[in-house]
Amino acid sequence: MELQKTRFFTVDLTKTKGKGEFNCPKCGIEISPDDMTEDRFTVLDTIMKGDRTAKIILKCNRCGSQIHLIGFHLLDKVTNLI
């Protein structure tokens, strides 16, 4: 039996286009924050820094990769401007 190794990737949301959607770095499936079905990904953990989101850790349900989303500090700045 061959064990599959979990791949870890970091996606910086400040470097993505659109409304936060991005492709899994390993298999290419589109992951969108609007998808609440958990068909394509599962949220494993949300890391907070005070009352702000610092990182969200996802698992791609197609290939099993673990994706660490960073770049939420920019969202905080934009929200404060509104």
Confidence of residue 73 (pLDDT cuts 50, 70, 90): confident
pTM for the predicted model, two decimal places: 0.82
Q: Is residue 75 predicted with pLDDT exceeding 70?
A: no
Are residues 9 and 68 in contact, defined by beta-carbon separation less than 8 angstroms? yes
24 CB neighbour count, 10 Å cutoff: 21
Are residues 44 and 8 in contact, defined by beta-carbon separation less than 8 angstroms? no
Q: Helices then strands (H, E): number in the chain?
A: 1, 6
pLDDT tens, position by position, 16-62: 888 889 999 999 999 998 888 989 999 999 999 998 899 999 999 99
Nearest to 41, CA basis, from 25, 26, 63, 71 = 63
Sign of CA dihedral 36, 73, 15, 63: negative
